[in-house]
Amino acid sequence: MAHKIKYPPYIPNARAHTFRLCLTNEPIGRDTIATATAMLFPVDEDYPRLVDVTYRVEQSDEFPGVKDHVADHRQWIGAPNTTSHMVQPHDPSAFSPQRRRTSLHLAFNDVFALDGSPVNRCALRLTGGASHVAWAGNLLGFRLREPADVYTQYEDVTAADLPVFVAHLRQHGAPFPDATPSPAQNQRNSWTAPHEAQRSNIFEPQHRDSAGLALLIGTVVALMVVGIIFTLFVWFWKIVFQYIFNICLWFWSSIFQFILFICRWLLWCFVHKTIGVY
């Protein structure tokens, strides 16, 4: 169940909880030991905290003049098999004479999905349960100088890096839109494709028949509506013309009767005047 993401108001710098890494059984001089700030996502806590990671500075075997930082993440992860990957690409904005280009990395138990490691409560809370990976065991976020294949040098992580880690915890493992299908998915597609095609071929004539029937019904309904409108139009004008015709007939009939009355009166007057009958 997804919960609303709530970031902690602050990340305590738990230097009191810092563990010194046991890198080797051989004694190490004080001038070869250094520390860098990292971000620990505890398995049994709600919020991450900043910790001091102790590492050993030694001469690189591959690149003369380059100092490598050697640290053992197993003490933080609490598992014998650990791995890490980059959280974000190079940060060009960080490239300046004062600050070298760096990148963020996340270390975790390499087999947490197989060895029954407990779910990381901190990652679950920060992502609201909306992650593609069920993160388990302790997680350690750290910063490396770039290019990481040349330099293995730690730099400090700050509280401002938390949203980047949270976004990675939430989005890591999400499928790519153009990802190549796995062999199992290809096998499933090879089995289902003929059936899907056969099913589409079976239902395609029915879809065509349904479309033709719908078109026929629509045409018939449209003709019926047009016929009804035309009938009402004719009936209306028939009534109007009949009413006008009746008025005209009554008018001319009245005129004719009036003329006939005048003619009869004039005839009567003429007869009586000629004969002298009063």
| pLDDT score of 28 more than 50 | no
Q: What is the pTM of this model?
A: 0.48
| Structural contact between residues 121 and 135, judged by C-beta atoms closer than 8 angstroms | no
Q: What is the mean pLDDT of residues 134-140?
A: 89
The domain ranges of the chain are 15-171, 210-278
Position 87 scores a pLDDT of 85
Most confident of 22-36, 129-143, 192-206: 129-143
Position 78 scores a pLDDT of 76
More confident position, 184 or 58: 58
Question: Is the bond preceding 147 in cis, omega lying within 30 degrees of 0?
Answer: yes
Q: Mean of the per-residue pLDDT values for the chain?
A: 73
Position 102 scores a pLDDT of 81
| pLDDT score of 18 more than 70 | no
| Structural contact between residues 90 and 13, judged by C-beta atoms closer than 8 angstroms | no
* pLDDT tens profile 238-273: 888 888 888 888 888 888 888 988 888 888 888 877
Q: How confident is the model at residue 200 (pLDDT cuts 50, 70, 90)?
A: very low
Q: What is the mean pLDDT of residues 114-134?
A: 88
- The fraction of the chain above a pLDDT of 90, given in percent, is 13
Q: What is the mean pLDDT of residues 135-142?
A: 90
